[in-house]
């Protein structure tokens, strides 16, 4: 195989590994922080249901693989440079304090920056970007509003129940909501790098048309699981412990709201940020008790990382593409 093709495939897997550090832990952050599951058991649950979710469809993979940039207008250097931007930014955010970054936005920004450097505006697909905009609305407003609404309903229904009974009931219920959240993460976020991996196989001439083989799904899902097992605790601590205090009932509401939002987006082929979604649902759950229950200082750092993701990842990918094309020549 072409050494450049192997290098870019390796970069995609490295980005997926970093995704396991900084994004996949979102799906199990609340179930670990409420002590319903140990980190080890939560990881096993997340790995299994992430894989099942990734196998449940390919709509999001198709949007990422051929809906953000025009496959015919880019090359392996384009995709490789996008992966460099993701790896650099997400690794920095992780070691800078376990800040959960949006791999969705990093991936989209990286592909966009590299695509512009390769072929200019003609490389971009406006139809895919409209779905990105819808994903922002889904993750922000549906996430926060859903967390607020579901928590208010559950609190209302169980207002007369003893706290010990509520904890026991939702300690069990959270096992299902955590599995649902992990499945939703796989069905949306897990598909994104699967789509990129499949795009690289197309650009490298391995496949003549864009499609997603089962072995690609399994490989990417397993690499993501390894990344989560090695370094996921930092992000779990930020979302599950530092953002607001969570009880099992709160974790159930946050996970259920986030999972419903993510699943709806996945079936519509809309790539959204699971980091945004679970973060905003946790904020909505915390705000149900009182506005000050949310630690807005931590929230500010998370939002700042979200805002910086687009220009930083896009800029790194653009610069890396220009440098690689200057050194290697047109591909």
Q: Which domain holds residue 189?
A: 3-125+134-318
pLDDT at 231: 63
Indicate whether 226 belongs to any domain. yes
The mean pLDDT of 264-286, rounded to a whole number, is 82
Indicate whether 324 belongs to any domain. no
Indicate whether 330 belongs to any domain. no
Indicate whether 108 belongs to any domain. yes
Beta strands in 168-245 (DSSP E): none
The pLDDT tens digits for 199-217 are 999 999 999 888 888 899 8
Query: Chain-wide mean pLDDT for the chain?
Result: 83
What confidence tier does 158 reach under pLDDT thresholds 50, 70, 90?
very high
* Whole-angstrom distance, CA of residue 208 vs CA of residue 269: 23
Is the pLDDT reported for residue 34 higher than 80?
no
Burial letters 245-277, b for 16+ CB under 10 A, else e = ebbbbbbbbbbbbbbbbbbebbeebbbbbbbbb
Is the pLDDT reported for residue 320 higher than 80?
yes
What confidence tier does 325 reach under pLDDT thresholds 50, 70, 90?
confident
The total domain count for the chain is 1
Indicate whether 210 belongs to any domain. yes
Q: How far is CA 76 from the centre of its chain?
A: 23
Indicate whether 93 belongs to any domain. yes
* Percent of the chain clearing pLDDT 70 (strictly above): 87
* Whole-angstrom distance, CA of residue 208 vs CA of residue 204: 9
The mean pLDDT of 98-126, rounded to a whole number, is 84
pTM: 0.82
DSSP calls for 103-165: HHHHHHHHHHHHHHHHHGGGGB-HHHHHHHHHHHHIIIIIHHHHHHHHHHHHHHHTTTS-HHH
Taking CA atoms, 115 is separated from 78, 123, 130, 194, 307, in Å, by: 6, 6, 17, 19, 21
Indicate whether 329 belongs to any domain. no
- Tell me if 203 sits within 8 A of 79, measured CB to CB: yes
- Tell me if 244 sits within 8 A of 293, measured CB to CB: yes
What confidence tier does 318 reach under pLDDT thresholds 50, 70, 90?
very high
Indicate whether 156 belongs to any domain. yes
Is the pLDDT reported for residue 267 higher than 60?
yes
Token duo for residue 125:
């697909």
């Amino acid at each position: 195989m072409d050494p450049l093709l192997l290098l870019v495939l390796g970069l995609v897997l490295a980005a997926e590994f970093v995704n396991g550090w900084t994004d996949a832990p979102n799906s199990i952050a609340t179930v670990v922080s409420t002590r319903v599951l140990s980190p080890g058991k939560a990881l096993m649950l997340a790995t299994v249901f992430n894989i099942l979710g990734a196998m449940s469809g390919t709509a999001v993979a198709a949007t990422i693989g051929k809906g953000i940039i025009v496959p015919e207008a880019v090359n392996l250097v384009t995709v490789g440079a996008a992966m460099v931007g993701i790896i650099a930014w997400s690794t920095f955010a992780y070691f800078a304090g376990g800040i959960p970054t949006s791999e969705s936005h990093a991936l989209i920004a990286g592909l966009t920056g590299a695509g512009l450097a390769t072929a200019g505006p003609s490389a971009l697909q406006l139809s895919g970007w409209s779905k990105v905009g819808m994903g922002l609305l889904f993750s922000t407003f549906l996430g926060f509003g859903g967390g607020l609404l579901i928590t208010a309903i559950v609190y209302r229904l169980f207002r007369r129940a003893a706290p010990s009974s509520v904890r026991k009931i939702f300690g069990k219920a959270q096992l299902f909501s955590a599995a649902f959240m992990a499945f939703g993460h796989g069905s949306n976020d897990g598909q994104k790098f699967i789509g990129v991996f499949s795009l690289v196989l197309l650009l490298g001439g391995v496949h003549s048309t864009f499609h997603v083989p089962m072995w690609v799904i399994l490989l990417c899902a397993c690499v993501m699981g390894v990344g989560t097992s090695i370094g996921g605790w930092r992000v779990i601590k930020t979302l599950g412990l530092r953002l607001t205090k969570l009880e099992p009932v709160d974790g159930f509401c946050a996970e259920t709201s986030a999972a419903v939002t993510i699943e709806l987006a996945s079936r519509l082929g809309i790539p959204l940020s699971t980091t945004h979604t679970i973060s905003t649902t946790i904020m909505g759950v915390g705000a149900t008790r009182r506005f000050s229950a949310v630690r807005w200082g931590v929230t500010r750092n998370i939002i700042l990382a979200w805002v910086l993701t687009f220009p930083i990842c896009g800029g790194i990918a653009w610069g890396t593409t220009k440098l690689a094309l200057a050194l290697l020549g047109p591909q």
